[in-house]
Amino acid sequence: MFDRVIVPLDGSPTSEAILPAARAAAAPGGQLHLLRVVPPPLAAIGVGFGDPAAVFVPPPEDDAAEWARAEAYLQRIAAHLAPGPAVHTLVRRGRTADEIVLAARELGAELIAMSTHGRTGLGLLVMGSVAGEVVRSAQTPVLLVRPDATTLKAADSAPASTGPQSG
């Protein structure tokens, strides 16, 4: 059992499938830290041959709204985990794998518990693997769960699930 478990969530039923295992891994009196990483705003896009990059920064209200949605999502998940270990929420901005590893280090997490989408072949090549990057770069033990179709169907119908969100 672990005193501090960090649980990265991306808003999908797949990511939420780790919650029972994460809860079970937390020691009595332990803490679950739910983490949602919001991607950085698009900083620059090349607009043509030799043209300077066009800069796109979302309006502040869009950024604040995205942050608020991420926090509200984590609060809904936290409410469904009670009673149990103390649940804390954390929203960060940046590259997902980097922020997961950094948050684990900063919080002194003893375990990172996350689901994997289980991509292989071309899907893995195109989409990459956040879970794989975390496993390779974290100094914290990582518990990975690849949910099956039954688990995903149950997670998709759970009240906490809000379906996929950006990020």
Average pLDDT over residues 138-152: 78
Q: pLDDT confidence of 154, banded at 50, 70, 90? A: low
On average, the pLDDT of the chain sits at 79
115-125 CB burial, b ≥16 within 10 A, e <16: bbbeeeeeeee
Tell me the C-alpha distance between 104 and 107, whole Å: 5
- d(Cα 92, Cα 46) in Å, to the nearest integer? 27
Write the DSSP symbol of residue 39: P
The model's pTM = 0.75
Whether domain 2-157 has CATH 3.40.50.620? yes
Q: Exposure pattern of 28-52 as b/e (b: 16+ CB <10 Å)?
A: eebbbbbbbbbeeeeeeeeeeeeee
Positive/negative CA dihedral, 57, 103, 13, 73: negative
State mean pLDDT over 38-52. Answer: 57
Quickly state the pLDDT bin for 45 (edges 50, 70, 90): very low
Q: What tens digit of pLDDT does each residue of 116-126 get?
A: 866 555 444 44
Strand partners, 80: none
Cis-peptide, bond into residue 83, ω within 30° of zero: yes
Q: Confidence class of residue 44 from pLDDT cuts 50, 70 and 90?
A: very low
pLDDT, average across residues 12-25: 92
